[in-house]
Amino acid sequence: MIDVNKDNYEEEVLKSGMPVVVDLWSPKCGPCLSLMPQVEELSNAFKGKVKFCKLNVAENRKLVISLRVMGVPTFLFYKGGEIVDRLSGGDAVPDSIRAKVDKLI
């Protein structure tokens, strides 16, 4: 997974030639941390088809606000530089994430 921040978000996410999943997380978010190993597995499963990135909300507040994200965990699904779907809170479970990724490709 690629760590993204305000400096590389445009290049890694918005200008990506392949679909992108952005995992917005916080070091103080228990559900975020427990999801991370499963998201890493998904990243490996879709390697070469979908780019997986993670964004630490505590270190990128302005970017998070501009993305209209109100809580974590939140997953943003991009295609062609545009947000086409999102999952957050209790809906952000591995099966739901996988289903949304399948729709991206």
Specify the CATH number for the domain of residue 75. 3.40.30.10
Cβ contact 103:87 at 8 Å: no
Annotation marks residue 53 as catalytic: no
In this predicted model, what pLDDT tens digit does every residue of 68-102 receive, in sequence order?
999 999 999 999 999 999 999 999 999 999 999 99
Number of domains in the chain: 1
The pair of three-digit structure tokens given for residue 73, joined into one six-digit string = 């965990």
In this predicted model, what pLDDT tens digit does every residue of 11-70 receive, in sequence order?
999 999 999 999 999 999 999 999 999 999 999 999 999 999 999 999 999 999 999 999
CA 40, CA 102: separation in Å to the nearest integer? 16
Residue-number span of the structural domain to which 50 is assigned: 2-104
Cβ contact 25:32 at 8 Å: yes
**49, 59, 73, 76, 97 from 69: Cα distances, Å:** 25, 14, 10, 9, 17
**Which of the following is catalytic: 29, 63, 93, 104?**
29
**Which of the following is catalytic: 20, 22, 32, 50?**
32
In this predicted model, what pLDDT tens digit does every residue of 4-14 receive, in sequence order?
999 999 999 99
CA 16, CA 90: separation in Å to the nearest integer? 28
